[in-house]
């Protein structure tokens, strides 16, 4: 997938580097931590890194930053690989893990110690934080900063052997405790973690920090352009410092870009993990989650997500993207490819009294008006049908053009019908069924005498209907910026949208849906775009609504702001 649209500053840098001869190829990398599932923000990075490499004839590495065994799991590794491939990108032979380089990281650390640029510190984590200082006050040197090279070497080797408890010692870079950049105030390079690693097992009990492992991994792999989100901008001097002090032959260029912030959701793995563990969602692939697996289960396509990443562009400053832009991309994509079906979510029984009993017929229906090649199908029609309950009003308001007593409407692909009688439950007054008549001359939905009707309804033949479940999903949060609200004292749980999932059973779908399988996408006419859920079975089909046919949130947000 080649990046399209306007050029951006990273492309300008790459093209300049290629033209000047600084590089003769482009090598990027996507370096996820296997401590959770990827979300839509990672999709932006995936599209950028893999897309740029492809555009300029280079390659992109997939590298797992597996430097914290307590939070990592092979499940996350497999899910990340699946998500990258599902988006349409491939790493070929270039699959790597930071753990591949643990031996080299260790040897580089010994070099820093011997050069007097790293030392073993015995301060506790809390003491290290307190010694670090603030944005306006310099830090204080650790009392262990003056340990000799020999003592540091011996202690670090004992750390590697597992002779000490967690938190008893760390290895720190010796840089400048008075630096205005807090990241340069003798950062921790290695810490002791007695935990089972999913790849190296129990071979190591010391693990490098991200800042240390990241730049060295980039260098070892020959990365030319190391693309990071803006939060790592202040870490760039440290990235460069490690590589300069170690005198490596390959010194990649770190370039920062704005991360994706999407309203009405959260883009933090930690927050998403909380939602999963607290049971507010059914799992990482809950269709309300901004995870790639959640979006896939909801019915989003790789093409729609790549299109979204293309539209939002690449910038140098953070901004918040409206959820409606993502929804626009999936509507645009599915409108062209999704086959149309008829289904009724809230069924209301309609008996066509002048239609022959025990009879039925097949009526032709268009599969997709946007693509003639998708052809037509036949839908059964009979004396008893279902329509949406909201498509009938006994006392209709002004400009209500659907069915009402004495009013004639069109049934999609079928006939004109007129409501003659409303049958109600005598005790509750609830409408049980409508009794209508049809005009046989209007088969196909047109009147030979030229009379016009304003309302067209979708419907399903009762005798042929497939009983199904439908899940209507909405935004996970009721407020646009839940993280900002949390900073102001409003708990994250209090901003969750209580109507983010509405499950409806007893829905009636036309029989053609029997041929659908989990993952298939479709449009139920007038209702929205849907996807067959993985839990769906032929005996009990379940449809997830991907998105409505129109953006209704623009009006809702306007009311909220007013």
> Could you give the CA distance from residue 308 to residue 329 in angstroms, rounded to a whole number?
6
Q: Do 92 and 232 reside in the same domain of the chain?
A: yes
| Final residue belonging to a domain, choices 427, 458, 489 | 458
**Count of CB atoms within 10 A of residue 512's CB?**
20
**pLDDT tens digit sequence for 68-118:** 999 999 999 999 999 999 999 999 999 999 999 999 999 999 999 999 999
Q: Give yes or no for a contact between 382 and 355, defined as CB atoms under 8 angstroms apart.
A: yes
In terms of domains, do 328 and 358 share one?
no
Contact yes or no for 175/184 (Cβ under 8 A): yes
Which of these is catalytic: 44, 174, 185, 269?
269
Same domain assignment for residues 208 and 324: no
Domain endpoint, select from 458, 479, 510: 458
151 is catalytic: no
Local structure of 62: helix, strand or coil: strand
Same domain, yes or no: 172 and 190: yes
Q: What is the pLDDT of residues 384-406, one digit of tens each?
A: 999 999 999 999 999 999 999 99
Q: pLDDT-based confidence at 559, cuts 50/70/90?
A: very low
Question: Is residue 179 located within the same domain as residue 103?
Answer: yes
Instruction: List Cβ neighbours of 200 (8 Å cut-off, separation of 6 or more).
Output: 99, 102
Whether 259 sits among the annotated catalytic residues: the reply is: yes
- Average pLDDT of the chain? 95
Q: Does position 26 have pLDDT exceeding 60, yes or no?
A: yes
The reply to whether 443 and 481 lie within a common domain is no
Residue 463 lies in a domain: no
Mean local confidence (pLDDT), 296-325: 95
- With beta carbons less than 8 A apart as the criterion, state whether 119 and 170 touch: no
What is the pLDDT at residue 261?
A: 93
Which of these is catalytic: 259, 271, 337, 412?
A: 259
Element spanning 321, H or E = strand 320-321
314 and 431 both lie in a single domain: no
Residues 32, 42: contact at Cβ < 8 Å? yes
Query: Which CATH number belongs to the domain containing residue 99 in this structure?
Result: 3.40.50.620
pLDDT of residue 556: 43
- Regarding whether 117 and 26 lie in a shared domain, the answer is yes
How many CB atoms lie under 10 A from the CB of residue 439?
16
Residues 59 and 148 in one domain: yes
Q: Which long-range contacts (CB under 8 A, 24 or more apart) does 364-371 make?
A: 364/413, 365/340, 365/412, 365/413, 366/340, 367/339, 367/340, 368/336, 368/337, 368/338, 368/339, 368/340, 369/340, 370/335, 370/336, 371/336, 371/337
Instruction: Name the pairing type of β-strands 253-257 and 225-229.
Output: parallel
Are 119 and 252 in the same domain? yes
Query: 4 lies in a domain?
Result: no
Taking residue 179's Cβ as centre, other Cβ atoms within 10 Å add up to 16
Structure confidence at residue 3 as a pLDDT band (50, 70, 90): very low
pLDDT in tens, 127-163: 999 999 999 999 999 999 999 999 999 999 999 999 9
Domain assignment present for 172: yes
Is 327 annotated in the active site? no
Q: Label residue 6 by pLDDT band (50, 70, 90).
A: low
For residue 97, give both structure tokens.
């893990």
- What CATH number is attached to the domain comprising 292? 2.40.240.10
Residues spanned by the domain of 140:
9-257
The pLDDT tens digits of the residues spanning 482-501 come to: 999 999 999 999 999 999 99
Q: Are residues 23 and 130 in the same domain?
A: yes
Residue 2 lies in a domain: no
pLDDT of residue 554: 53
Q: Is residue 516 part of a domain?
A: yes
Nearest Cα residue to 30 out of 70, 68, 87: 87
* Whether the predicted pLDDT of 560 surpasses 80: no
- Terminal C-alpha separation, the chain: 42
Residue 263 falls inside a structural domain: no
Q: Is residue 138 part of a domain?
A: yes
Q: What phi-psi label fits residue 131: left (phi over 0), alpha (psi between -120 and 50 degrees) or beta?
A: alpha
- Using CA atoms, how far apart are residues 280 and 282, in angstroms rounded to an integer? 7
Let me know: does 371 contact 405? Beta carbons within 8 Å: no
- Given a cut of 70, whether residue 562 has pLDDT beyond it is no
Same domain? For 449 and 480 the reply is no
Looking at the structure of the chain, the number of domains it has is 3
What is the SS3 assignment for 417? strand
Supply the pLDDT for residue 2. 42
Q: Please indicate, yes or no, if residue 356 is contained in any of the structural domains.
A: yes
User: How is residue 301 annotated by DSSP?
Assistant: -
| Averaged pLDDT for residues 434-451 | 94
Q: What is the DSSP letter of 221?
A: H
**Is the pLDDT assigned to residue 59 strictly greater than 50?**
yes
Query: For position 561, what pLDDT does the model report?
Result: 47
Mean pLDDT of 12-21: 97
Residues contacting residue 138 through CB under 8 Å, at least 6 positions apart? 177, 178, 179
| Domain termination residue (choose one: 257, 292, 325) | 257
């Amino acid at each position: 997938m080649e990046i399209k649209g306007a050029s951006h500053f990273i492309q300008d840098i790459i093209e300049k580097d290629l033209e000047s001869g600084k590089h003769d190829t482009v090598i990027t990398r996507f370096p996820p931590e296997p401590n959770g599932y990827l979300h839509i923000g990672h999709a932006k990075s995936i599209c950028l890194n893999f897309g740029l490499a492809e555009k300029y004839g280079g390659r992109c590495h997939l590298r797992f930053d597996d430097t914290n065994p307590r939070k990592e799991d092979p499940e996350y590794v497999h899910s990340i690989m699946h998500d990258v491939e599902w988006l349409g990108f491939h790493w070929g032979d270039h699959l790597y893990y930071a753990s591949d380089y643990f031996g080299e990281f260790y040897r580089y650390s010994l070099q820093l110690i011997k050069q007097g640029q790293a030392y073993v510190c015995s301060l506790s984590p809390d003491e290290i934080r307190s010694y670090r200082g603030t944005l306006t006050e310099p830090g204080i040197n650790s009392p262990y900063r003056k340990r000799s090279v020999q003592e540091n070497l011996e202690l670090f080797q004992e750390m590697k052997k597992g002779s000490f408890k967690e938190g008893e010692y760390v290895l720190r870079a010796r840089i400048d405790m008075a630096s205005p950049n807090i990241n340069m105030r003798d950062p921790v390079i290695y810490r002791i973690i007695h935990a089972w690693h999913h790849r190296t097992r129990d071979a190591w009990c010391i693990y490098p920090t991200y800042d240390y492992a990241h730049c060295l991994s980039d260098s070892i792999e020959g990365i030319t352009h190391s693309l990071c989100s803006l939060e790592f901008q202040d870490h760039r001097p440290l990235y460069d410092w490690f590589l300069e002090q170690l005198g490596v032959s390959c010194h990649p260029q770190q370039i920062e870009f704005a991360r994706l912030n999407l309203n009405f959701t959260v883009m933090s793995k930690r927050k998403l993990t909380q939602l999963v563990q607290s049971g507010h969602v059914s799992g990482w692939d809950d269709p309300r989650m901004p995870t790639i697996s959640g979006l896939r289960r909801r019915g989003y396509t790789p093409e729609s997500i790549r299109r979204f990443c293309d539209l939002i562009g690449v910038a140098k400053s953070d901004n918040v993207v409206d959820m409606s832009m993502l929804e626009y991309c999936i509507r645009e994509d599915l409108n062209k490819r999704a086959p149309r079906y008829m289904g009724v979510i809230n069924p209301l029984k309609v008996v066509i009294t002048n239609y022959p009993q025990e009879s039925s017929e097949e009526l032709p229906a268009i599969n997709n008006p946007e693509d003639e090649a998708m052809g037509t199908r036949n839908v059964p029609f009979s004396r008893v049908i279902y329509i949406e309950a909201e498509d009938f009003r006994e006392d209709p308001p002004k400009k209500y053009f659907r069915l009402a007593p004495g009013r004639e409407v069109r049934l999609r692909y079928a006939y004109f019908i007129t409501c003659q009688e409303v049958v109600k439950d005598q005790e509750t007054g609830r409408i049980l069924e409508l009794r209508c008549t049809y005009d046989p001359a209007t088969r196909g939905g047109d009147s030979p005498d030229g009379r016009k009707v304003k309302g067209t309804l979708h419907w399903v033949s009762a005798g042929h209907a497939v009983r199904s479940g439908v899940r209507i999903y909405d935004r996970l949060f009721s407020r646009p910026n839940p993280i900002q609200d949390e900073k102001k004292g409003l708990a994250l749980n209090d901003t969750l949208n209580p109507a983010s999932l509405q499950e409806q059973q007893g829905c009636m779908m036309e029989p053609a849906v029997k041929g659908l399988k989990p993952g298939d996408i479709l449009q139920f006419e007038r209702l929205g775009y849907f996807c067959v859920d993985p839990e769906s079975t032929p005996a009990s089909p379940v449809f997830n609504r991907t998105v409505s046919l129109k953006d209704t949130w623009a009006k809702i947000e306007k009311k909220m702001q007013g």
